[in-house]
Structures are given as structure tokens and as C-alpha cells.
Amino acid sequence: MASDTTIRIRAYNVGFGDCLLVRIPDGSATRWLLIDFGNAPGQQNDRFQDIAEDIEKETGGHLDVVVMTHEHLDHIEGFSSTRKVFNRMTVDQVWMSLPSDPRYYSKYPKARKQKTLRDAARAFAASLAATRTVAPSFLALLQNNLSNADRIDYIRDLAPSKAKVRYLSRGSSIATTPASSRVKFRVLAPEKDVSVYYGSSKGAQFAALTHSLTAAHERSGWQTFPGVKRVPKPTNLSGTDWDQLLQSTQGGAADAIRTLDKAANNTSLVFQMEAHGKRLLFTGDAELESWSVMLVKTKSSLKPVDFLKVSHHGSHNGTPLDLLDTLLPKSRKDRAHVLVSTRAKVYGTVNPVPDAALLKKLKERCKKLHSTDDTSKLYVDVSI
């Protein structure tokens, strides 16, 4: 009887977030990778328990690897929320993006601007906790970008020892870890020094945005959302000047959080897996800045895939359209499967997520476009 060579990706319906359980046949063994588990702040987590228990049942309580692509809550919240289940399971290794290494910012000082901006965001969030005067969508974006240190520590501690926690960047050696030579892994992103994604000019922007965020934190009542009582106008400013000052501070704070969100997405762990003659690409939330570097640094590794996990929940800024001919050539349409982990009508008004134009182009290039945007199902299975 022929051995099983079917790779299965189970995408759980977490809401707006990612949770992928990958089953890999490896000779007489079966390897299990769990990639992320979370959803966006402000959403119901009532499915987390059922999902965690399904993961435990499917794997027999054993995971070869837990992968945390990056630190956003919509990719990690589920682990600590269901820790009673995960505390019963065994995990051989934990893979994290390099910037999650506790020593990262001492090793890569050029990237510290991102940490400084995050620290300002944390102080800003603390000031908002008392006032509760911001729009829910803005608050969710802010919460998603805080350090979430306790949740990250919990995921680290799932590994049996510190030596079994791998902080990965492009070129990290995990070729056949943890499987045999039948299964190969290649890390395509992030770069070791993630400041490459925001460069010198954007470094100055980070500093300016940090200043704006700090100023917003220090000005009680800075918000100008409808129904929010404003602070008194200083006597030395006209009404027009005071309105402009408030709007500028508010806008600067919002821009700062959006910039922090983009920077964190571009630290996403992007890796390729090859097994049984099939190529699968897992992309986290990598945005266009990360892809532009990958096109330079890993161009020879970007080849047609049999499975693509669409980056950033199908956002317009998560998939470079000019890369589709490489990853999903129309000549291989009958072989390729594409997955988007998303939930419509949660994020985006100017650029709704998922992006309808992107989904249309993806459908033209794959056998099937799978989506978790169906509340009637606990998961979607993709067999490759």
C-alpha cells in the first residue's frame, strides 16, 4: 500500500486572525506544526476553547513545532487564553521571529526606534484606560500593538527548554528541523536588522511619531471623537488654532499606531516548506516592505507554490501583485491552493479587508481559494 503523502492544513475560524495546524506525513511519522493562534482585540473568543481541544485531539497532545510569526494579538491571543489545554500538551520546539528574542534590541540598535515607539504606545494606552474616550476600532489597533510580554513568555515556555526556542530570520538553519530529510524548511524573512524595512528617512518619521504619541499621552482629553468632552481652550489661542492643535495631536497619535502596526507586520516570520514534491509558503502578515526585500535577497527561492497562505488577512498591502506570476502562474492553476485567514467587515473602510480586487486575482490563479470567513464552521481543511 502506498504511503500517505497528503499534507493537510487545517485553518481554524478564529475570527480576524490566524491559526493553522499543519499535518505533514514523514515516513512512518506524522509531524504537526501549529502556526499562530489568535484573533483581533474586541472580538469574541468563544471558539478558542473548542479550537484548542480540537488541536489536542488531532495531534494526540503532541506538537513538533509551535510557530509564532509575530507579536500581534490576532496571532497569539489564543495560546494563553486556553493555557489549561496547552499545559497538558507537549511541544518539541518553538519558532519565533528574531525580533522576539529578549536580547534583540541590544544586538540591533538601529531597530530600537520601533521599541521606543512601542514604549510610547504603552504609556499612551495606560492613559486611555482611565478615559475610555477613543473609537473602539482605534483602541483595538492600539491594543494589538502593545508588547504583550506575558503572552509571548507563555508561548516561549511551551518549549521544553530555552535551547528549543529558535529565533529565526532569513537564512536561519532549520532545513530539516524537526523532520527527516523528506521535509525541508527555508526561512525567507525577516531580515536580522528589521530597520531595513523603515530605513533612515522613516527612522526620522519614527522619532516624530513617538514625539506625537508622547504629547498625546501627556495631554489629558486630547481626543476629539464625537460626544467626547474637550479640555478647556487656552486663553492665548484662538478657537481655530486650538482645533487645529487638537486635530494634529490626534492625527499624529493615530499615524504613530498605524506605523507601529506596519513595522510589526514586517517582522513576520515567512518560511517555505517542501515535502513530497510540494511547495508551501507561509507568510504571516508580511507587508510590501518585507516582500520588496525578499525579492532582492531570496529571489531564487521564490518559485511556484502548491499552497499559499495569503499575507495579512488578504489586505491590499500584504501581497505584491507583480509577484503572482512567480508564485501562482496561471499555467499551474489546477495545482495551486490559496488560503486567506480573514473576517470581512472587521477592519478597513478606505481599504476594506479582505481586498476584493486581490481575491479576484487570486481566484484566477488557483484551483480553489479557501477562506475562514464562514462563521458556520470551526475550521477549513486544505489537502495538498
> Which contiguous run of DSSP H or E holds residue 293?
helix 288-297
284 pLDDT more than 90:
yes
Is 53 inside a domain boundary?
yes
pLDDT of residue 246: 47
Average pLDDT, whole number, for the chain? 86
pLDDT digits (tens, 9 = 90+) for 226-255: 444 445 555 665 666 545 444 444 556 777
| pLDDT for residue 351 | 84
55 located within any domain: yes
- What is the count of structural domains for the chain? 1
The whole-number pLDDT of residue 271 equals 98
pLDDT over 90 at 320, yes or no: yes
Is 80 exceeded by the pLDDT of residue 204?
A: no
Considering only residues 64 and 115, tell me which one the structure prediction assigns the higher pLDDT.
Answer: 64
pLDDT in tens, 95-112: 999 999 999 999 999 898
Compute the average pLDDT of residues 281-285. 98
Distance CA 70, CA 319 (A): 17
Count CA within 13 A, CB hemisphere, residue 343.
Answer: 20
Count of other CB atoms within 10 angstroms of residue 321: 11
Q: Is residue 3 part of a domain?
A: no
Predicted confidence at residue 1, as pLDDT, reads 37
Sheet harboring 165-168: ordered strands across?
165-168, 90-97, 62-68, 29-35, 20-26, 8-12, 379-383
* Out of 73-77, 100-104, 124-128, 244-248, least confident range: 244-248
User: Mind listing the pLDDT tens digit for each residue in 321-342?
Assistant: 999 999 999 999 999 999 999 9
pLDDT given at position 311: 98
3-state secondary structure of 174: coil
Q: Residue 134 pLDDT more than 80? A: no
Evaluate the omega torsion of the peptide bond into residue 109 and state whether it is cis, within 30 degrees of 0.
no
Q: In this model, does residue 126 exceed pLDDT 70?
A: yes
Banded model confidence at residue 37, pLDDT cuts 50, 70, 90: very high
Return the pLDDT at 346: 85
How many Å apart are CA 34 and CA 59, to the nearest integer?
Answer: 10
Per-residue pLDDT at 227: 40
Confirm if 193 and 122 have CB atoms less than 8 A apart: no
Examine residue 216 and state whether it is found in any structural domain, yes or no.
Answer: no
Dist CA 12 CA 379 (whole Å): 4
**Assigned domain for 209 exists:** no
Q: Is residue 104 part of a domain?
A: yes
Strand, helix or coil for residue 285? coil
**Other CB atoms within 10 A of residue 326 CB:** 14
pLDDT attached to residue 146: 80
Amino acid at 40: A
- Which residue, 178, 33, 158, is CA-closest to 88? 158
Judged on CB neighbours under 10 Å (0-12, 13-18, 19+), 110 is: middle
Residue 135 confidence (pLDDT) above 90: no
In a domain, 231, yes or no: no
Task: Note whether residue 118 is domain-resident.
Answer: no
**Cβ atoms of residues 139 and 133 within 8 Å:** no
Q: What is the CATH number of the domain that holds 188?
A: 3.60.15.10
Beta bridge partners of 126: none
Residue 166 in this model has a pLDDT that exceeds 90: yes
What is the domain extent for residue 331?
8-111+142-198+262-383
